[in-house]
Structure 1
Amino acid sequence: AGIWMSGQAPSADTDGNLYLSTGNGTVGTTANRRDTINRGESFLKLTRNGTNFTIASWFTPYNFTNLENGDVDLGSAGLLLIPGTSLAFSGGKEGKLYLVNRDNIGGLSGSTTADTNIVQSFSPSSHQFHGGPVWWDGPGGSYSYVQLSTDFLRQYKFNPPTGKFLLPNFAQSPTAAAGGQPGGLLALSANGTNAGSGIVWATHNVSGDANQAVVTGILRAYNAQNVSNELWNSGQLSARDAVGNLAKFVAPTVANGKVYLATFSNRLNVYGLLPEPLLTIGRAGTNVVLSWPTNTFLNYVLQDNTNLLATNWVTTTNPAVATNGGFQVTIPASRAASFYRLKR
């Protein structure tokens, strides 16, 4: 069996055990389907034994023959090790997600109709899953996020008392990935558990199937507390932010306060916050002219108040005029002395 997981790396716990999934391939032997000599269509826990690894535990879906024959193998995604638990979470090309116990992943069910040997399984859709889930311990609970091909980004809330996910999904994105592969490749950034800091980053195809051709991609940012709230996407100002050609099976990387995204357009895109605009003051005859550079992502407005420490600043009534790559507001000399600030 092959190990590919759509480019995801094996997961590792603090004891040095490795966790991975395998694709199409032989399952055990004809005489013994539970033999560890061959473990296609499986989740594997590998433990170091000298200079080698041995299979310490494994799980194979009951319908492995159908997965193999239909090329809807289990091995299309990496495993998420859920923090603070002994659980692992992943799925495959069948569109089914599996929650398993890492201490005893489950083996092969004795049933021919269901996986009775695992913690939980459910299907967000019938489409393929690539990449892997991401996780956040947020202020209102703990969540995992997945986005299958041709599907919405889905947010599932974890219920610690039962050790399972609450169904149906807690929230979903307003926009689905386009038809075809790969669906959303995800990353999550947050300032710990602080409210308002969690962002789910998702990159996916805009149209077309990336498994059949080079297609255009997009990067989206969602509020991790509720992914029905999209914060930004690279298509809002495509002249500046467009992804270009999607790099299939490549998730965003978040580091140094920036988001790095490889592409098939022969470039690495780096996204980050734009600099704060500088408010400058000048004169035009007896009038005062306040100016700041154009910033089409963060929309700033000019506010004023006669009290610098006030909490009730209001938008300046004088109109802002776009000119020479910036905005200008003219304040007549007859106006009372005031303080001015830019606010987004």
Structure 2
Amino acid sequence: MIDPSTNTLFVVVNTLENSGTSNIYRLHAIDLTTGNDKPGSPKVISASVHGSGGGSVNGTITFNATLQMNRPGLLLLNGVVYIGWGSHCDNHLSTYHGWVMGYSASTYQQVVVYNTTRNGYAGAIWESGQGLVADSNGAIYFMTGNGKFDTRVSPAVDLGDSFVKLSSQNSLKVLDYFTPFNQSCLDSGDVDLGSGGPVLIPTSPQELVGAGKQGRIYVVNKDSMGGYTADPNLNSSNCGTEGARTNVDHILQELPNKTVGGVWGSPSYWNSSAGQFVYFVGSGDHAKAFKLSNGLLPHTATSQSPESWGYPGGDVVISSNGSTPGTGIAWNIGSNGVLYAYDATNLGRELYNTSQNSSRDGLPSGSYSKYSVPTVANGEVFVGTHSTLDIFGLFKTTPPTLTSSSVSPNARPVGTSVTLSGSTFGATQGSSIVNFGNATANVTSWSNTSIVATVPSGLPTGPINVTVTVGGQTSNSQTFNVTTLSTPAYNNTGTSDDSNPTAASFDGHGNSYSAQALQGVGITPGSKVPFNGVTFTWPTPASGQPNNWQANGQVIPVSGGGTLAFLGASANGASTGTFTVHYSGGGTQTFNLTVSDWTLGGGTLSPSPGNQIVVTMPYRNTPTGKQTHKPYVFYIQVTLTVPSGQTIQSVQLPATESPGQIHIFAIGTK
């Protein structure tokens, strides 16, 4: 951590001394102009507090450098350097603690000490490397890991699995805290809160947003954090059910488990011209952006990256030219050792990754360091690895020139793909863009001579100019005709007459819905199917004719309200895919939906979360006749974030899904 006012670099160093028998921590204050320690530096780090907790002797707990580890980044606040402490893994669980120590940035003397569990144990502050957070009033915030939490003491003395607020005025006094109602479950299940760290958001009131290993997102008012609310119905046997509730804690908002993958890092925040966004990269999950509305997050991500990454996920870093539209870039280092860049307002639009030209840009093989975070400064991105410091920036480019046959086909509706041919586009997209008139297109493929782009939503029908901009230089234009979006043809025959069961194959194995069984529950070709406030129209084709969309990237016209609903089912197992909504103003929103298996695994499974059974039939047709595996039709909905003054224009079905196949019979809105 650097103090620019004194050109001092503060570093905590751990050395093994006395023939390998002693761990010693020192705080170094290094002169940036000489690289040498400043006078009075380094200082050996030690501390003690009064308490009866783990490792105490005669009512005193002494800092044990063998057990503790400086995991969080340092904080410089009002002339004091604050150091947070976790542990070396979970070794000696009953005797390590979380600590915060403050050292004068001028004399390097220790001035304050705080212990998270002075009458208990653990409560480490590690946050996967994020630094402690401070507000303009001098309060310090952090999140703790598994450890003792004493619900009987008020104010709380032992604060395992908690958001904590400390005063930096004269002493590190606990001003407020929030501890989830299921803290005992977090502790016993090793799904602690402290794998993540909080971000402080300048809303009104100011909010702390954070998540831990459960992927449950908490939005906390920093001035009234919520304390602890007990749930008398919670016990060790129902952590997975009662412990999953989101309406017990007294905080601003709590999103369910697995809203994001388990978090080993911290969320990021960006106040853009398009709104305020919070970003997460959970383990085993995509990078996800959530757009704040009235200080609250949507229950599903506003956008997400095409890629997902394994443990530990990552941390999004935003670079932008202030809030200037079109300049926000979201950076993340994947656990595969690749640096990615996305449009910060739409993570579904990848701008660049280092594997696109790995011989030039790739990080050294095997050098990826977990918990590493890119740093942006002076128009460059700095990436540290186990062996190198890699620096990324822009190259000068040659203005592009489109050929006369640059757009193919030259007439398509919005939401569909076209290919632009030309020259000197550059090997990778980077910050280059394709415009249809004034609307920027989403690009799915980019090379020096060919670009595949999606015709933006919201364009009027008729001719429009298409241009490519690379390095600030714009190509000559080509004329493209925007046509009316038509409903794509059905591509699967899912219903057969009982007298001719081989005329359909919903699942690709000759099995299908029975027309007579559907009629028995009130569904016939072209009939209305009301459910949950949405009135659907069942496909009109007769049995033996194509009557549903097996998802393959089709773009389907839709209009109406802010909730999008589907009638459908999956074949060969419940299936998950990414849907994309196109709005009249040109924007998009992506979301993942899981659609239940049409027979619920032959009656052995329950509907997937968010799926409701609309109708149940007593049998299905097979090539050899009726089979009493009950087939179902399901209702699935998603609440959209429709931009102000715009409407839904279309929805694009997933181009791929797994492990089975998603089938959609009808789409509606409300």
Instruction: State the TM-score bracket (shorter-chain normalisation).
Output: 0.7 to 0.9
- The question of whether the paired residues in 2 share the 8 Å contact of 1:218 and 1:233 is answered with yes
Q: Deviations over 1:138-181 (max 9, x none)?
A: 22211111110010111111012xx211222111111111x3x1
Q: Indicate the residue corresponding to 1:38 in structure 2.
A: 158
Q: 2:261 aligns with which of 127, 149, 157?
A: 127
Corresponding residue for residue 205 of structure 1 = 335
Change (3 A) 1:125 1:256: same
The question of 1:62 aligning with 2:184 is answered no
305, 323, 327: which one aligns with 1:173: 305
| Structure 1 residue 240 displacement after superposition | 1.3
1:191 aligns with 2:321: yes
Cα deviation, 1:169-227, whole Å, max 9, x if unaligned, reads 111111111x3x11022211111211101111011212xxxxxxxxxx11100101111
Q: How many angstroms apart in 2 are the aligned matches of 1:101 and 1:142?
A: 17
SS at match of 1:237: helix
Shift of 1:314: 6.7
Q: Deviations over 1:226-280 (max 9, x none)?
A: 111011011111111112322111111100100111112x10111111134599x
Instruction: For residue 137 of structure 1, report the CA deviation from its aligned partner.
Output: 1.5
- 5+ unaligned residues in a row in structure 1: which ranges? 207-216, 280-292, 302-310, 316-344
Which amino acid in structure 2 is aligned with residue 119 of structure 1?
A: L
Code of the aligned partner of 1:159:
S
C-alpha distance 81-277 of structure 1, shift in aligned 2 (>3 A): same
| Equivalent runs, 1:206-221 vs 2, <5 Å | 206=336, 217-221=337-341
Mapping for residues 226-237 of structure 1, pairs under 5 Å: 226-237=346-357
Amino acid at match of 2:277: Y
Q: Does 1:139 align with 2:260?
A: no
Q: For 2:300 and 2:203, how far apart are their aligned partners in 1?
A: 23
Is residue 221–residue 231 contact of structure 1 (8 Å, CA) maintained in 2? yes
Q: Write the letter of the residue equivalent to 2:297.
A: F
- What secondary structure sits across from 1:65 in the alignment? helix
Question: Which runs of no fewer than 5 residues in structure 2 stay unpaired?
Answer: 1-122, 235-241, 401-423, 430-446, 450-473, 479-670
In 2, Cα distance between equivalents of 1:22 and 1:11: 13
Counterpart of 1:150 (choices 284, 294, 303) is 284
Q: In structure 2, what is the equivalent of residue 273 of structure 1?
A: 394
Higher relative contact order (Cα pairs below 8 Å, separated by 6+ residues): 1
**Superposition TM-score, scaled by structure 2 size:** 0.39
Within a 5 Å distance, the mapping from 1:1-344 to structure 2 comes to 1-28=123-150, 32=152, 34-50=154-170, 52-85=171-204, 86-111=206-231, 112=234, 113=242, 114=245, 115-122=248-255, 123-125=257-259, 127-160=261-294, 163-177=295-309, 179=310, 181-206=311-336, 217-244=337-364, 245-264=367-386, 266-276=387-397, 296-297=427-428, 313=476
**Matching residue's letter, 2:377:** A
* Cα distance in 2, alignment partners of residues 129 and 155 from structure 1: 14
**After superposition, what is the alpha-carbon deviation per residue over 1:89-133, rounded to whole angstroms, capped at 9, x for unaligned?**
000011111000000111111334443311111144473101111
Q: CA-atom RMSD, angstroms?
A: 2.5
- Note if contact 2:352-2:428 (Cα within 8 Å) is conserved in structure 1: no
SS in 2 for 1:159: coil
Residue identity in the other structure for 2:179: T
| Maintained 8 Å contact 1:62/1:109 | yes
Shift of 1:54: 0.8
In the superposition, relative to structure 1, how do residues 9 and 295 fare at CA in structure 2: closer, same or farther (>3 Å)? Answer: same
Distance 2:124 2:299 in 1: 32
Instruction: Show CA shifts across 1:46-98 (max 9, x none).
Output: 11241x21110101111111111121110011211112331110000111110
Q: Would the alpha carbon gap of residues 314 and 39 (structure 1) be closer, same or farther in structure 2, given more than 3 Å must change?
A: closer
Q: Which amino acid aligns with 1:167?
A: H
Q: TM-score, normalised by structure 1?
A: 0.74
Contact 2:260 2:281 in 1 (8 A): no
Residues of 2 paired with 1:258 and 1:25: CA distance? 40
1:128 counterpart SS class = coil
Counterparts of 2:375 and 2:301, CA distance in 1 = 25
Evaluate the alpha carbon distance shift between residue 157 and residue 295 of structure 1 in structure 2; reply closer, same or farther with a 3 A threshold.
closer
Which structure has the larger Rg? 2
Q: Secondary structure of 1:229's partner?
A: strand
CA contact (8 A) 2:333 2:340 kept: yes
Summarize the Cα distance change of 1:5–1:313 in structure 2 as closer, same or farther, 3 Å threshold: same
Identity, in percent, stands at 35
Checking the alignment, whether the CA contact within 8 Å between 2:214 and 2:258 is kept in structure 1 is: no
| SS of equivalent to 2:214 | coil
Contact kept? 2:217, 2:259, Cα under 8 Å: no
The offset of 1:295, in angstroms, is 6.1
Distance 1:252 1:188 in 2: 10
- 2:332 counterpart SS class: strand
